[in-house]
């Protein structure tokens, strides 16, 4: 495995970008800004290697970008209703940065911080120390994101965290994929399968109602696989609220600590590329890039358009701290938060 490092200036300080290339020439690029995925370059059915993770031309443009492209949001990914958080009976008021709600840990969050980086034999370990009270979350929290790239084109992300005070944690990766190529245009012609029999309905601000509803008979049913765009314009509240899919599915067969090998399978019709995503997380938020327009310039010299990529975010449920019926995302001193996401790339 070959690892090279480049550095780039930014308003937050020096950004380190690591390229990890396997023997076949397939590679990933990872950034210390937000412990992010910059690129994933893998072959199509004809052997042509191309980046399939949406990316910007300038590594500094990832700072405070609306799409949170490729980065790890935190301390709590996704939404918390009205920024209202109670931990051990103490109320914490989080910043409101998404309609009436808190999103991705706040305006700065983990995604807009430069993480410490350490090279591994086949990857990179990123570490971020969040102070007690940062973004109004309790507890000094140490978060670790360890990426490893394999010879058979599997990117494994292990995320862990420890705290000195009871807090909440929900970590994921917010990469967007287009298996025809990062700058290829709409992803609505990709086929997607989600191994989930239930999903989480939301209000019009995308906060879960607390109900766990069956997907059967709705546009949320991807169990047999279908085009992402097949039902995206359907007369269905969830799709109107988000201008497309921006919803959390309940992963079939999930048990705490159990690795689910195949939760989501994404296939591109022309390149033949396939992405299979597995995880230890209870849910997957699928976001079809409904608000990508106006993003920073990509390597083609243009901004992305809406629906140019799909984010497959393995995570805990949104607003779980305010939903006692959801799996807890609470972390106490002496405990370790530990979750894995596995992105496996192949061709068919």
Alpha helices by DSSP H, 41-169: none
Annotated active-site residue in 174, 190, 211, 262: 174
**Rounded distance, CA 313 to CA 279, Å?**
10
The position carrying tokens 């600590």 is: 257
Joined together, the tokens standing for residue 277 give: 């995503």
Q: Is 270 left (phi over 0), alpha (psi -120 to 50) or beta?
A: alpha
Beta carbons of 68 and 97 less than 8 angstroms apart: no
A 10 A CB-CB count for 185 gives: 15
Q: For residue 84, indicate whether it is catalytic.
A: no
Alpha helices by DSSP H, 74-195: none
**Rounded distance, CA 256 to CA 346, Å?**
28
**Rounded distance, CA 218 to CA 28, Å?**
36
CA 347 to chain centre: 22
Annotated active-site residue in 50, 135, 180, 313: 313
Q: For residue 255, indicate whether it is catalytic.
A: no
* DSSP assigned state of 114: B
H or E stretch at 237: helix 237-242
* DSSP assigned state of 121: S
Give the residue numbers annotated as catalytic, written as ranges.
174, 313
């Amino acid at each position: 495995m070959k690892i090279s490092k480049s550095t780039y200036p930014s308003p937050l300080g020096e950004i380190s970008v690591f390229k990890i290339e396997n023997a076949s020439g397939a590679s990933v690029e990872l950034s210390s800004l937000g412990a992010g995925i910059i690129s994933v370059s893998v072959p199509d059915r004809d052997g042509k290697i191309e980046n399939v993770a949406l990316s910007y031309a300038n590594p500094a443009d990832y700072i405070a970008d609306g799409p949170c492209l490729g980065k790890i949001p935190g301390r709590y990914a996704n939404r918390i209703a009205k920024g209202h958080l109670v931990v051990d009976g103490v109320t914490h008021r989080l910043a409101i940065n998404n309609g009436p709600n808190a999103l991705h840990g706040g305006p700065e969050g983990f995604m807009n911080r430069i993480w410490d980086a350490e090279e591994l034999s086949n990857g990179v370990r990123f570490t971020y120390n969040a102070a007690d009270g940062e973004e109004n979350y309790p507890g000094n929290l140490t978060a670790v994101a360890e990426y490893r790239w394999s010879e058979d084109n599997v990117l494994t992300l292990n995320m862990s965290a420890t705290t000195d005070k009871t807090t909440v944690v929900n970590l994921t990766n917010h990469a967007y994929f287009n298996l025809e190529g990062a700058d290829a245009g709409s992803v609505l012609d990709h086929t997607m399968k989600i191994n989930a029999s239930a999903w989480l309905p939301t209000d019009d601000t995308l906060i879960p109602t607390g109900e766990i509803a069956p997907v059967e008979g709705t546009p949320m049913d991807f169990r047999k696989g279908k085009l992402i765009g097949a039902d995206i314009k359907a007369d269905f509240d969830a799709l109107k609220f988000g201008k497309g899919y921006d919803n959390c599915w309940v992963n079939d067969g999930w048990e705490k600590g159990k690795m689910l090998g195949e939760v989501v399978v994404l296939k591109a019709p022309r390149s033949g590329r396939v992405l299979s995503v597995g995880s230890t997380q209870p849910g997957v938020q699928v976001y079809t890039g409904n608000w990508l327009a106006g993003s920073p310039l990509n390597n083609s010299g243009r901004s992305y358009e809406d629906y140019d990529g799909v984010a497959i975010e393995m995570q805990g449920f949104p607003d779980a701290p305010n939903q006692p019926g959801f799996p807890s995302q609470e972390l106490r001193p002496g405990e370790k938060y530990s979750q894995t996401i596995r992105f496996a790339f192949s061709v068919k």
